[in-house]
Structure 1
Amino acid sequence: METVNSSETQPATPEVQHIADQVKAEFQRREDRTFDIFRAIVYRTKLDAGTIFLIKVQDSDSDTGYAHLRVFQALPQEKQGPSLVSYQTGKTRDDPLNYF
């Protein structure tokens, strides 16, 4: 699934944290729980009629307190906020951030 238009994993930026914050409510609803911690750690992007962000977030202090989020951000002219496409939980800080 890797393509030439995908980025390497990079440290999260304030913009990426903002995107994670915008999908936190949906993540909590799907998981049926509340997370006090929701810190973006690293991310990758892929262009596909918009931008797909893969974001590793820390959601607890446990060793497996990380989740990988797949978030779609439509092109600016679409005037839509980011949407949580899918996610994986139970990840560790060292798990590679691969497309899923």
Structure 2
Amino acid sequence: MMPGGLSETKTATPEVQHIVNQVKPQFESRENRTFRIFKAIVYKTQVVAGINYFIKVQVSDDDYVHLKVFQGLSHENQGPNLDGFQTGKTRDDPLTYF
């Protein structure tokens, strides 16, 4: 993968679900609501000074959101940070850069 470019779409792993779980409070705070379902489905990565994760997350039976999460380099000891999100997505909407 070329630095700065997005990876191919991959099925979410337990590691990606862990990242999603860590940023869920940030997302809920920004949306001013809580979500019973918050399940990572697929993701893409972008290598920067760390890694940007673009993650499709199921938030209800038919509703999805796309999260952009920045994970700094491991020596920085910082948890993942929710950099942005898109709501109103469906299961079929492709993950793209935003």
TM-score scaled by length of structure 2:
0.95
Structure 2 residue ranges without an equivalent (≥5)? none
What is the CA RMSD across the aligned residues, in angstroms? 1.0
Structure 1 residue ranges without an equivalent (≥5)? none
Letter in 2 for 1:39: K
Please state whether the residue corresponding to 1:67 is helix, strand or coil.
strand
1:13-52 equivalences in 2 (<5 Å): 13-52=13-52
Q: Deviations over 1:37-74 (max 9, x none)?
A: 00000000000000000000000112xx1000000000
Rounded Cα–Cα distance in structure 2 between residues aligned with 1:48 and 1:72: 9
In structure 2, the partner of 1:53 is 53
Aligned length: 96
Rounded Cα–Cα distance in structure 1 between residues aligned with 2:47 and 2:31: 27
Is residue 78 of structure 2 the alignment partner of residue 80 of structure 1? yes
> Identity percentage over the alignment?
61
